[in-house]
A and B are shown apart, each in its own frame.
Chain A
């Protein structure tokens, strides 16, 4: 298995632009998680899905952030409009079923908003 796949690996955009991050979880995993990591705040859970349904989105910072999971093999995290404080590494992770199980992280997308 290729593991969790994220794209792009790096994204540089100007403030105000829309950014879309993509994730393909491990086949057969029912849960998907989006995290953000910064030097100041460490790792933060943004949202997680179970069987394509958002279960907890309390970590989503603002309405500018939205996440979708249209099917079991694909999810997106969108930021519109982007701001410099959104600069961070965004990780996607998947697990067999829920947050109690081992999570497998993707390589992350490094986002820089100028």
Chain B
């Protein structure tokens, strides 16, 4: 069964600290993996998209890694800011007879001053 699991479910850190969010997936065949940031009351915004051959991709203070062998991805946030408080959603796309997009349940990140 195609699944995307994220951990932790929620996380609270102090402003300025770093953190890492995890995403494990069992989706096959794999097409790409994306991380989205969703602020409360708004639509998700894409942070990174990685294909099978990409190991690392950065977007400002956000760095995503992908290990296609172990089917794991992480999103590292450096020097967190209050505006980083949001839900972070891992999404895996699969190419099959009917292309599928599978969403993780998200990690709720809260940055405290």
Nearest CB in chain A to that of B95: its residue: A100
B46 and A103 within 8 A (CB): yes
Rounded to whole Å, the gap between the CB of B41 and the closest CB of chain A is 8
Does B32 belong to the interface (CB within 8 Å)? Answer: yes
A45 and B101 within 8 A (CB): yes
A93 and B43 within 8 A (CB): yes
Does B1 belong to the interface (CB within 8 Å)? Answer: no
Q: For the complex, what is the distance from the CA of A100 to the CA of B32, rounded to whole Å?
A: 7
Nearest CB in chain B to that of A6: its residue: B43
A42 and B42 within 8 A (CB): no
Contact of B103 among A44, A58, A99 (CB under 8 A): A44
Residues 94-114 of A contacting B (Cβ, < 8 Å): 98-108
- Residues of the B chain whose Cβ atoms lie less than 8 Å from the Cβ of A107: 42-43
A side interface size, CB within 8 A: 21
Nearest CB in chain A to that of B31: its residue: A100
- Residues of the A chain whose Cβ atoms lie less than 8 Å from the Cβ of B46: 102-104
Rounded to whole Å, the gap between the CB of B71 and the closest CB of chain A is 18
Q: For the complex, what is the distance from the CA of A56 to the CA of B102, rounded to whole Å?
A: 13
Q: For the complex, what is the distance from the CA of A107 to the CA of B46, rounded to whole Å?
A: 14
Contact of A43 among B32, B93, B98, B103 (CB under 8 A): B103
B106 and A56 within 8 A (CB): no
Residue-wise, chain B 24-61 has the 8 Å CB interface mask toward A (1 for contact) of 00000001101000000011111001000000000000
Task: Classify the secondary structure of B's interface with A.
Answer: strand
- Residues of the A chain whose Cβ atoms lie less than 8 Å from the Cβ of B100: 45, 56
Nearest CB in chain B to that of A55: its residue: B99
Q: For the complex, what is the distance from the CA of A106 to the CA of B49, rounded to whole Å?
A: 19
Contact of A102 among B49, B98, B104 (CB under 8 A): B49
Rounded to whole Å, the gap between the CB of A107 and the closest CB of chain B is 6
Residues 72-113 of B contacting A (Cβ, < 8 Å): 89, 91, 93, 98-101, 103-106
- Residues of the B chain whose Cβ atoms lie less than 8 Å from the Cβ of A105: 43-45
Given A55-B99, A100-B31, A100-B32, A42–B106 Cβ distance below 8 Å?
yes
B44 and A43 within 8 A (CB): yes
